[in-house]
Structure 1
């Protein structure tokens, strides 16, 4: 039962990645390569998995703070890879 949560995280990752895949069929504004899907899938699945694993180890009163940190790191890495706000990783 405890490992089922990772299946749900994987399914949520696939559903989220369907959004740009479907958008690519209708417009040229979205142009993702296979590596874009792999990186974003890794980020989504990794952030969700880390959140679950950390939540299993720490006391419940720290969950919100840890969730905010995980979300902030996720958004920072995503923005860096997308447009390179602070470094030139995305450009």
Structure 2
């Protein structure tokens, strides 16, 4: 009789779920805000760009957490990924460095 191997628990599964849930929640938040105020005015292209940025970041963080690297390397790499996300988001919103894609 052949028995299937026991399923291996994914390391940091709760953290991975939290990252994905956070990315989705941050993407849904402007849609909810648009129902209650005219201060938030996102178009479809804003949601596409936000989705690419947030879900892309969640994907990269998920891969980094599951990489098997040391905790220090995971924290430093994850921090760098989040820093890049925040920088790109701010550049698109207000134009920190004045790129052609700046929102100002």
- TM-score of the superposed pair, with normalisation by structure 1: 0.79
Is residue 2:58 matched to residue 1:48?
Answer: yes
Is residue 2:45 matched to residue 1:60?
Answer: no
C-alpha distance in 2, partners of 1:85/1:47?
20
Q: CA RMSD in A?
A: 2.1
The 5-angstrom pairing of residues 1-91 of structure 1 reads 9=20, 11-57=21-67, 58-88=69-99, 89-91=101-103
Cα distance, 1:71 vs structure 2: 1.0
Which is helix-richer, 1 or 2? 1
C-alpha distance in 1, partners of 2:28/2:55?
14
**Unpaired segments of 5 or more residues in structure 2?**
1-8
**Equivalent residue pairs, number:** 88
- TM-score of the superposed pair, with normalisation by structure 2: 0.71
**Unpaired segments of 5 or more residues in structure 1?**
none
C-alpha distance in 2, partners of 1:53/1:14?
17
Larger radius of gyration: 2
